Amino acid sequence: MSQEKKLVVVTGASRGLGLGIVADLLEQGYPIATCSRSRSGELDNLLSRHSPAGRLFWRACQVGQEAEEEAFMSAALEWAGERKLYGLINNAGIAGDGILATFPKINIEEIVRVNLLGAIRMARLALRAMLTARIGGRIINIGSIIGSGGVTGLAAYAASKAGLDGLTRSLAREVGPRGITVNSVAPGYLETDMSNGLSPDERGRIVRRTPAGRLGAISDVVPLIRFLLSEDASFITGQSIRVDGGIGA
């Protein structure tokens, strides 16, 4: 089946890595349905170029809110028409910095709801369509090296990302016999909005600890996403693959 007939859903694509993934996959010929809480100027540019041709769909959706997730997936599948759902990239996520003992309860719950529960529910919705379509598929969860390595002040975030790795391994066993692979991509420190809050000293320490000698770029991650969606990756599943410049080595 050609790429233009394989729908890929990407969550959290208004900026950063999610936006980069959408832009790259559009260039590869995939039709894309995406969501975010709001639209950015960069996303508007993509929509103006690709939406009129029926190649890009966007709907406001706050991942972590079940009713909104269901409404988005239903609208995306209706927009896709005869194109079958082939890929889900669970990218939507939030972080929160603070010592756990004094971290607000509501912030803990929101991080887990968006990063983990939202991803689980989106995977369930996607799998219903994939199993019905019977063309196989790809689920890619965007994790983080913090999920396995931990960082002071990011306990709730680390726990939510570690949960994604557990989801990846278990779900890979469930759906592997149906030709659906499930993998996790764990980026290191990237030059995105989430790293802009680092102080010069913090940034310097990270760069010195990284064998590659720099922070990562979105362009370092998207080729792996592209590969995992491809037929060449059909025997790779249940894996958490780090893209971190060697900092976790």
Which residues are catalytically annotated? Answer: 157
Give the 3-state secondary structure of 153-178: CCHHHHHHHHHHHHHHHHHHHHHHHH
Residue 115 phi/psi, 5-degree rounding, is: -75, -35
Handedness of CA 100, 106, 109, 110 (dihedral sign): negative
Asked whether the beta carbons of 139 and 180 are under 8 A apart, the reply is yes
Please tell me the distance from the alpha carbon of residue 140 to that of residue 75, in angstroms, as a whole number: 21
Where do the H-state alpha helices sit in 28-154?
A: 41-50, 66-80, 105-112, 118-133, 146-149
> What residue type is assigned to position 82 of the chain?
E
What 3-state class would DSSP assign to 128? helix
| 110, 115, 121, 125 alpha-carbon torsion, rounded to 10° | 130
Please tell me the distance from the alpha carbon of residue 26 to that of residue 32, in angstroms, as a whole number: 7
Asked whether the beta carbons of 76 and 7 are under 8 A apart, the reply is yes
Please tell me the distance from the alpha carbon of residue 55 to that of residue 77, in angstroms, as a whole number: 13
